[in-house]
Amino acid sequence: MASRHGLLIILSSPSGAGKSTLARRLRDWDPDIRFSVSATTRPPRPGEQDGREYFFRTPEEFNAMVKAGAMLEHAEVFGNLYGSPAAPVQAAISAGQDVLFDIDWQGGQQVRETSLGNLHALSIFILPPSIAELEQRLRSRGQDDDAVIATRMRKSRDEISHWAEYDYVLVNDDLDATFARLQTIVSAERLRRSQQPDLVEIVRRLNSEFEERS
C-alpha cells in the first residue's frame, strides 16, 4: 500500500489568469505529478498517440463509458466529446500519485461530485488581479483577434462567479509568489489525515505498545 493517497488536483481560472503556466510549473517542481489524460471523440492529429495526448474513442465508445459511470467529467466542445476516464485516475490515486486537472468550473464541479473527487479532490481557483490585467494578458499572447478576446472576456465573468466553490483561491498578481503559495497548499494537503492510509495502523501499533507496558 502507498504511504499516502494521491491528490486529485483541480486548477481552474478564467482564460489568461495563469492557470496553464502554474500547472506546468507544478509539474516541473514535482515530475511525479501527472496530467489527467482525457478521452475524446475527435480524430487524432498527426503525431498524436492513443493514451498519450488523448484516449481516442468513437462516439459510441465514449457514450458507453459515460453511461457506465466510467467518466469523472465530460462535455461537448465544438462538436466533439471530451472527458476524464476514472480508471487511470483511480489507479494513480491508489498508488500515491497526484493527478492534475486543468479544467473549467463545470468540469471541476463534476469531478468533485464523484466518490473519488469527494475523497481526494483539492480544488484551487486562480483569479487575475484586475479585469484590465486579464485583458492585457490575453492581448499579449498575440493569438486571438478582438472578437475572440471579447468572447473570452465575457466568459471570464461567468467563470469568476464560481470562485467560492473552490477549497483555495489565489490572486495571481505575481507569478512567482502565486506559485510559492500553490506549492505550500499542495505540500500541506498531502499531509491531510485522510490522505495517509497508514495512520490507522500506526496508531494501532502505538496503542499496543501502551498495553504491553501496563
What's the pLDDT score for residue 143? Answer: 74
What's the pLDDT score for residue 36? Answer: 92
- Could you tell me which of 123, 129, 113, 115 has the C-alpha nearest to residue 16? 129
What's the pLDDT score for residue 134? Answer: 93
Phi first, then psi: what are they for 74, rounded to 5°? -160, 155
- Could you tell me which of 167, 65, 68, 163 has the C-alpha nearest to residue 117? 167
Residue 25 and residue 20: Cα distance in Å, rounded? 9
When the pLDDT of each residue in the chain is averaged and rounded to a whole number, the result is 94
The yes or no reply on domain 8-36+96-213 and CATH 3.20.20.70 is no
Give Rg (Cα) of the chain: 20
- Could you tell me which of 56, 64, 15, 58 has the C-alpha nearest to residue 38? 56
The one-letter amino acid code at 214 reads S
The C-alpha cell at 148 is: 475572440
Q: Where are the domains of the chain?
A: 8-36+96-213
What's the pLDDT score for residue 2? Answer: 66
Q: Write the pLDDT tens digit of every residue in 138-148.
A: 998 877 888 98
Q: Write the pLDDT tens digit of every residue in 126-171.
A: 999 999 999 998 998 877 888 989 988 999 999 999 999 999 999 9
Q: Write the pLDDT tens digit of every residue in 51-107.
A: 999 999 999 999 999 999 999 999 998 789 999 999 999 999 999 999 999 889 999
Residue 111 near residue 117, CB atoms below 8 Å: yes
The one-letter amino acid code at 109 reads Q
